[in-house]
Structure 1
Amino acid sequence: MMLKAGLWAFAGKGGHQVVNFALVIILARLLTPEAFGIVAAAQVVLVLSQVVVQFGLGAALIQTDRLTRSMERTALTLMLGMALVMAGVIHLATPWLARLMTIPELVEVMPVMLLTFLLSAVTNPGMSLLMRDMRFKLLAAIDVGTFALLHAVIAVGLALAGWSYWAIILATLASTAAKAFIVWYLRPVWPILRMHREEVRGLLGFGSGVFLTQMGFALAQRVDNVVVANAFGAAALGLYSRAFNILDLANSLLGRAFRAVLFAGFSSKRRVGSSSKKAMQPVFLRAHAFAAFLILPISAASIVLAPELVMILLGSQWTQAVPILQVLAIGMYFRLGYKVSQAFNLSEGKVFASAWRSLLYAVLVGVLATSGSRFGLVGVGVGVLMALTIVFTLLTQLSLSVLQMSAIRLFAALSPFAAMGGISGAVAWQLAETMRGAETNGVLVVGVTVVVMAALYLLPLWLLRRLPIIHELLEAARSLRRVMGNRIEEQSN
């Protein structure tokens, strides 16, 4: 079940990111860094507000042992009530926020963004219920369809028409409205006028811990944007956010799919009583090993090929984003790895233990990014990297303590991928520098370097395939291939 769900989750995120990849390339040539900075500033406010509105209620619907229709409606009512209050507060605070972030355009764009925010609140309970039912194939179709057919088309069309930052804002509103309608049609949930105290207490009891955890992570992922906007302005925020978004293409595909599938899967195992500490240890190790196997070569390639990636994807006006991209790329595994640990921790009900770690993460990002801002945007990136390393360590230590497993086992599982990633990255760095010195075309530099890196990374791992962790990953890949084969056969019949 988890394997098939993971397949569809990755398919959905993969399709989304293919479209997003093309959209990044197109919009970077149609819009200015200032336009992206304005959008990023508005998103800082809305992402944090969405966490407040959800209050962990979606996760509570997924994790609870006994789910009733009344509980679903209660969750939606609570979210809508908090969303309306939050929208009013944000509307009143928008002039102050615009001055704080030195982006006056927030005053005109925020009302439209707040409408998007309210639609997201309506969508969340239905999305969570579909995840609980492990209907990731359907979720993938909704995600890819609304993003590709609405968001991308509208954003490019309006950008070509000269609508600047409004192109992204209106495209987001349209795709969010379409997703809200589709999800409600497939999994309708209505508000309830009279809520039961026991259901409210049960939802908020688990949800409050998840809320604190999500708020910590949301703050940590956005407070650096506030630091950049306040210290350097909208153009610098545009550069910083674009560098982050290049890396987020991989993180969105892998991280969100990992978190959603693992949390739903771990929770499902716990509900049916089929999980034990000993049985979950290899599952946890495989998840981390798979994350390392996928993300470490991407991380190394992003560091080595950052100049070419920025030029090819964004264009010459974005060259100042290269060193920021390289610094942030160092932490790609930590960003994905902490999501694996966090999914396990939440499925085990360790919400408040996770909460203080996530809130500490937000504080560390704020403090270290502010300190690093004295050295420019790269200094902000270094501060974020330091905070990311700390939270990865803290969350993984919590998982290991729950599993009663030593850190040495985790290090042993990750070491083959870390070693091969480091070696292939070092060789690729020298190769890329040589080709640049010979004034080789950037696309050719990327192509040759990626091929060499892939060979240097995969061949040694294949030779080491008898190592337990690599053998287990290969077996999982074979199982995945059988699932795909059976699926194709079912469709052909």
Structure 2
Amino acid sequence: MSRPVVPLVPRSSVAVLGQDPALATAPTAPGGPDAGARATGEAGRAARGVVWLAANGVVVKTAQTVVLLSLAAMLAPSALGLVALGTLVANVAVQVSGLGTASALVYWRGDVLRAARTAATISVGCAAAISAALWVGAPWLASALGAADGGAAVIRGLTVVLPCTALAGVSYELLRRELRFLRRVIPDAVAAVVGAVVAIALVVQGSGVMALVAGQVVQAVLALLLAWCVHPPVLPGWDAEDARGLLSYGGPFAGTHLLELVQLNIDYVVVSAVLGTVALGQYSLAFRLAFMPYLMIVVVVTGAAFPYLCRVRGPELGRAVVSVTTVTTTLVAPLCLGIALASDHLVVLGEKWSPAVPAAAWLAAYAALLSIGLLVQTAVNAAGRPVLALGLRLAHLVLLVGALLVVVDRGITVVAAAQAAVAAVVAALALGLARRTVSGFSLRDLAVALRPAALSALALAAAVLLVRALLGDLVPSPATLALLAVTGLAAYAGPLWLLDRHRLLAAAALLRRSQ
């Protein structure tokens, strides 16, 4: 069972990207009156990129949800197990293939088109090798994971298109580097909808779980073709020194995302093995609910902010990181706090979900703290230090595994609390690291910038608790949940507007400003 994860250099004899003199001094914008306007314009394009990426996420996730609901309605639960298995294997393969060289293009400082050809060669070559290995090893892998009956076909079907995905990724990252987010999301959104239509049509005709596989194949091929329509195709090529630079940055970058994938799934494995499938189901519901603000806001914002931060140099980078962190935290805080305060409404789905209530509250805190870690990792990557981001992710995974092994037998609430505690430690480590490695980043400035959101969050909590006290023995229902949501958001928005109106107006101006 997987969760979304959430998807450079001129010639030099120095292989480590961060040590290349040509990279240490990145191209700067020309001075004069146009420099400030150019920087503001890029910030505006990044801000609009958040909107486009968010819209794309809604389209893609809706299409995936419709397909899964169709499969659930027409197929046995075991079929969905095969889907989960195949998706997990495919997600891991995607993270490994290409070794992060496509993402490294966003940071590249030299001839990016030449480097893109080398990245295409590495990405397609690795993807083809992994796809071939999985094709041969699929029966063994499916048997080892307990899905011998049909699992091999699903794994093969979902990974045979890895070369298409890898090649499309090169075009995607070039578009992200150029802050051309609308063109970036068109192939994803259109391909996801077409793939969903194909999958649903085939499952209705009785194709079973392979309908999803066929839909994914159509989606991957169409996404590649559409990527070539919105951006000139990148033909494979080779430059040895470009390859060294791409791998020196992209390797740790890819490793960080692979560790993230493991980190976001290891709790499921441990809970299932120790507490059983019923506890896993309750924990899974709580996690998915609490994880939504992180997935729909933090992942989207960092995806758009990263190419913008890569263009900022010197102390301005730290100040930009403070701004991005402040805006993102301001958006996430009321949602996470609201989930924690209204988690008892899970019992609307039935009393069988009551054990998930306290777990959801702790996991909401976990999602908020996890957001800080991802924002800092994005800043560190933009500063050209992907190895440090990899170290943060590795530290999180090690601490989490140790904590889970100690507390898992005490139930899902303690597991959720352990998640929050580990995320708090990693967030503190990440902020300390950013203070030392990101030029211009100030914890004091960040604390001052977050003061309006913190005070607004206190107002939200007070308003929700007051309403609950006035209602007495609150009976969870959709109506009471809506009342608490409206009251809380109003209580949050009012003080925020009074205390931080200038920042809100500036963000709106960025969205309106022409490119």
- What's the TM-score bracket when you normalise by the shorter of the two chains? 0.7 to 0.9
Q: Secondary structure at the match of 1:134?
A: coil
Instruction: Map 1:32-431 to 2 at 5 A.
Output: 38-91=82-135, 94=138, 97-98=141-142, 101-104=145-148, 106-147=151-192, 149-154=193-198, 169-192=213-236, 195-231=238-274, 240-269=283-312, 275-277=313-315, 279-308=316-345, 322-401=357-436, 402-425=438-461, 427-429=463-465, 431=467
The correspondence for 1:12, drawn from 35, 44, 53, is: 53
Report the Cα distance in structure 2 between the residues aligned to 1:169 and 1:337, rounded to whole angstroms.
36
| Corresponding residue number in structure 2 for 1:490 | none
Could you list the per-position Cα deviations for residues 266-310 of structure 1 after superposition, in whole angstroms to 9, with x for gaps in the alignment? Answer: 1123xxxxx321x33332222111111100111012223335468
Letter in 2 for 1:276: G
Tell me the percent identity.
22
Counterpart contact for 1:27–1:156, Cα < 8 Å: no
User: CA 1:345–1:358 in 2, change beyond 3 Å: closer, same or farther?
Assistant: same
Single out whichever of 124-133 and 303-312 deviates more from structure 2. 303-312
Report the Cα distance in structure 2 between the residues aligned to 1:163 and 1:228, rounded to whole angstroms.
33
User: CA 1:241–1:452 in 2, change beyond 3 Å: closer, same or farther?
Assistant: same
| Corresponding residue number in structure 1 for 2:503 | 473
Report the Cα distance in structure 1 between the residues aligned to 2:276 and 2:463, rounded to whole angstroms.
38
User: CA 1:437–1:151 in 2, change beyond 3 Å: closer, same or farther?
Assistant: farther
Report the Cα distance in structure 1 between the residues aligned to 2:164 and 2:244, rounded to whole angstroms.
25
Counterpart contact for 1:341–1:395, Cα < 8 Å: yes
TM-score (norm 2): 0.79
Q: Secondary structure at the match of 2:158?
A: helix
Report the Cα distance in structure 2 between the residues aligned to 1:444 and 1:245, rounded to whole angstroms.
22
Letter in 2 for 1:397: G
Counterpart contact for 2:134–2:156, Cα < 8 Å: no
Report the Cα distance in structure 2 between the residues aligned to 1:433 and 1:122, rounded to whole angstroms.
57
Shift of 1:196: 2.4
Report the Cα distance in structure 2 between the residues aligned to 1:460 and 1:183, rounded to whole angstroms.
44
What's the Cα RMSD here? 3.5
| Corresponding residue number in structure 1 for 2:486 | 451
User: CA 1:15–1:201 in 2, change beyond 3 Å: closer, same or farther?
Assistant: closer
Q: Secondary structure at the match of 1:63?
A: coil
Report the Cα distance in structure 2 between the residues aligned to 1:18 and 1:186, rounded to whole angstroms.
19
User: CA 1:291–1:107 in 2, change beyond 3 Å: closer, same or farther?
Assistant: same
Single out whichever of 20-29 and 198-207 deviates more from structure 2. 20-29
Single out whichever of 9-18 and 118-127 deviates more from structure 2. 9-18
Letter in 2 for 1:357: L
Single out whichever of 7-16 and 423-432 deviates more from structure 2. 423-432
Q: Secondary structure at the match of 1:331?
A: helix
Single out whichever of 374-383 and 355-364 deviates more from structure 2. 374-383
Report the Cα distance in structure 2 between the residues aligned to 1:321 and 1:10, rounded to whole angstroms.
32
Letter in 1 for 2:386: V
Letter in 2 for 1:256: V
Letter in 1 for 2:230: L
Shift of 1:143: 3.0
How many residue pairs match? The answer is 469
Shift of 1:129: 0.8
Letter in 1 for 2:341: V
Letter in 2 for 1:45: V
Shift of 1:142: 3.0
Report the Cα distance in structure 2 between the residues aligned to 1:296 and 1:389, rounded to whole angstroms.
15
User: CA 1:283–1:307 in 2, change beyond 3 Å: closer, same or farther?
Assistant: same
Report the Cα distance in structure 2 between the residues aligned to 1:100 and 1:372, rounded to whole angstroms.
27
Report the Cα distance in structure 2 between the residues aligned to 1:161 and 1:196, rounded to whole angstroms.
49
Unaligned runs of 5+ residues in structure 2 are: 1-41
User: CA 1:198–1:210 in 2, change beyond 3 Å: closer, same or farther?
Assistant: same
Could you list the per-position Cα deviations for residues 433-476 of structure 1 after superposition, in whole angstroms to 9, with x for gaps in the alignment? Answer: 87694546x2212221111001211112233x2xxxx2552242
Report the Cα distance in structure 2 between the residues aligned to 1:310 and 1:107, rounded to whole angstroms.
38
User: CA 1:86–1:254 in 2, change beyond 3 Å: closer, same or farther?
Assistant: same
Counterpart contact for 2:107–2:310, Cα < 8 Å: yes
Counterpart contact for 2:291–2:364, Cα < 8 Å: no
Structure 1 or 2: larger helix share? 1
Could you list the per-position Cα deviations for residues 118-173 of structure 1 after superposition, in whole angstroms to 9, with x for gaps in the alignment? Answer: 432222111111111111011233333333x2355456556767777656555444
Single out whichever of 329-338 and 7-16 deviates more from structure 2. 7-16
Report the Cα distance in structure 2 between the residues aligned to 1:308 and 1:163, rounded to whole angstroms.
38
Letter in 1 for 2:238: M
Could you list the per-position Cα deviations for residues 225-263 of structure 1 after superposition, in whole angstroms to 9, with x for gaps in the alignment? Answer: 333454456776565555444444433332232222221
Letter in 2 for 1:87: S
Single out whichever of 242-251 and 339-348 deviates more from structure 2. 242-251
Q: Secondary structure at the match of 2:154?
A: helix
Report the Cα distance in structure 2 between the residues aligned to 1:473 and 1:316, rounded to whole angstroms.
43
Counterpart contact for 1:33–1:235, Cα < 8 Å: no
| Corresponding residue number in structure 2 for 1:491 | none
User: CA 1:68–1:294 in 2, change beyond 3 Å: closer, same or farther?
Assistant: closer
Shift of 1:55: 1.2
Shift of 1:63: 0.8
| Corresponding residue number in structure 2 for 1:272 | none
Letter in 2 for 1:267: C
Letter in 2 for 1:281: G
Q: Secondary structure at the match of 1:330?
A: helix
Letter in 2 for 1:258: V
Shift of 1:56: 1.8
Q: Secondary structure at the match of 2:160?
A: helix
User: CA 1:124–1:99 in 2, change beyond 3 Å: closer, same or farther?
Assistant: same
Single out whichever of 150-159 and 82-91 deviates more from structure 2. 150-159
